[in-house]
Amino acid sequence: MKYDYMCSKCGIFEVEHSMNDDAYTLCSQVRDRLIELNGLEKMAEKEIKASGISLPKKDCKCNVTRDITGGNGFVLEGDGWYKDGYGNKKSSSDDKE
């Protein structure tokens, strides 16, 4: 699931994590997760900045708020589901013939 985390000083950052995971409350937690997701753990701070990936400020201790932004993957499959939301196209007048 994708979430937008908003910090009043650093901006908005999109983070993907499980619905079962607790929401991040601090900007520094969001930064750590983004570093992990982008494989930047072993890079020096100078290299991280040069990567061009948008991250919260290194020493930010602000609280963040979370909004859900992803999850459009709802698909109905199998018998009985129709694209237009209606069932059998047969009208009741067809049954009487």
Give the pLDDT score at 7: 95
Task: Per residue of the chain (97 residues), give pLDDT as tens.
Answer: 889 999 999 999 999 888 899 999 999 999 999 999 989 988 888 888 888 888 999 899 999 999 877 556 666 666 666 666 655 555 555 555 5
Give the pLDDT score at 31: 94
Instruction: Locate the domains of the chain by residue range.
Output: 2-68
Q: Is 53 left (phi over 0), alpha (psi -120 to 50) or beta?
A: beta
pTM summary value = 0.65
